[in-house]
Amino acid sequence: MFFIGIFGIQNKQKHIKTENSIICPICEAYGRYDIIKTYNCFHIFFIPIWQWNKRYYVQTHCCNRTCELHQEIGIKLEKGESLTIEKEQIHCDDQHITDICPYCSAHLEPSFNYCPNCGNQIH
C-alpha cells in the first residue's frame, strides 16, 4: 500500500465466482476452481476511484494451479454470464510451474510461503 496524504495506491484481489463439479480445464480431473481478479486501485480516503492492471486467474483445487484467464472471458464471468472455460482460454506457463501472488500478481515458486515482492503470506 502506498500513501500520499489522503491518497493511496493498493493491490487488490476480488473473488469472482467458484465453479463446483466441473472437469478441470488444466488437468482434466473432476473438481472445482475459483475465478480471481487482481488489480491496482487508486483511492482517496479508502474510497476506490480508479482501477488498472486488471487480470483474471483460474485457481484450481484439483491440481493446485493458478493460470491466467483471457481478459474477455474474465469480464464476462464478472458480469455474471455463465460460461464454460476451455483449455484454449487460459494460459499456464508449463515450462516453469509457478503460483501467482493473489495480492501483487508476482510469479512465485511453489515452495514459497510468503511473496518476496509484497511480503504477504501466500497459503
**Is position 16 within any domain?**
yes
* Domain assignment of residue 58, given as a range: 2-96
pLDDT class of 87 with cuts at 50, 70, 90: confident
- Is 123 part of a structural domain of the chain? no
**Joined grid coordinates for residue 59:** 485457481
Q: How confident is the model at residue 75 (pLDDT cuts 50, 70, 90)?
A: very high
With beta carbons less than 8 A apart as the criterion, state whether 107 and 91 touch. no
Residue 72 lies in a domain: yes
* pTM of the full structure: 0.70
Q: What is the pLDDT of residues 22-34, one digit of tens each?
A: 888 888 888 899 9
Please state the domain count of the chain.
1
Q: Answer whether 111's CB lies under 8 Å from 122's CB.
A: no
Is residue 115 situated within a structural domain? Answer: no
User: Looking at this protein, which amino acid is placed at residue 70?
Assistant: H
Q: How far is C-alpha 81 from the geometric centre of its chain's CA atoms?
A: 18
Output the pLDDT for position 58: 92
User: 2-20: per-residue pLDDT in tens?
Assistant: 555 678 888 899 999 999 9
Inside any domain, residue 14: yes
Q: Does some domain include residue 63?
A: yes
Within-domain flag for 10: yes
Kindly state whether residue 116 falls inside one of the protein's structural domains: no
pLDDT score of 96: 44
By three-state DSSP, how is residue 90 classified? Answer: strand
Q: In which region does residue 80 sit, left (phi positive, over 0), alpha (psi from -120 to 50) or beta (all else)? A: left
**Residue 73 φ then ψ, to 5°:** -65, -40
